[in-house]
Amino acid sequence: MIRQIFVNLPIRDMARSRAFFDALGFSFNPRFTNDEGACLEIAEDIYAMLLVEPFFQGFTQLPVADARKATEVLVALSCDSRAEVEALVGKAVAAGATTPNAPKDFGFMYQHGFADLDGHLWEVFHMDEAAAPARM
C-alpha cells in the first residue's frame, strides 16, 4: 500500500487561501474541495487540507491554534534547487506571505520559508543528501 499524507490546516477565508496557493502554482483536487475544505495538491500522495475554522473545529475537542500567535506545525517542503526555494518563497511573498526567518545555508542544505496568510509556517528547502555530514 502506498501511503498518502493529508496535513489538515485551519484557515479563515477559503477564497483568500485558494487565491494565495494558486499564486504559488499549486492546484486543488476538485473532488475534495468545497466551501468548507480544499484539497491542496502538493505532490503525488502529499496534500494539505485547508479547512475553514468552524469545519476544522468539528474534528477536535481542543481549541484551534491561532498560527499567527503560536506554532502548531512546521510544514517542510523539499525543492530541486536553491533557485526553486527562492522562487517559491518569492511567489509566496508576492501573494501576501511573510518571511519570519532569514535564509539559512548549512552547506549540504539550503532553507528558507514563509508564513502563509493564516500564519502556518512552510519551511522550503533544498538538500544535497550526498553532501550531508555523516551521523553516528
Contact criterion met (CB below 8 Å) for 24 and 95: yes
pLDDT on residue 135: 64
Closest CA to 11 of 117, 96, 99, 89: 117
Task: Indicate the pairing of strand 37-43 with strand 46-52.
Answer: antiparallel
Backbone angles phi, psi at 89, to 5 degrees: -65, -40
Residue 136 has pLDDT above 50, yes or no: no
Q: Which helix (H) or strand (E) holds 3?
A: none
pLDDT on residue 2: 81
Domains of the chain are 5-131 (3.10.180.10)
pLDDT in tens, 37-51: 999 999 999 999 999
pLDDT in tens, 56-110: 999 999 999 999 999 889 999 999 999 999 999 999 999 999 999 999 999 999 9
Q: Count the neighbouring beta carbons within 10 Å of the beta carbon of residue 96.
A: 13
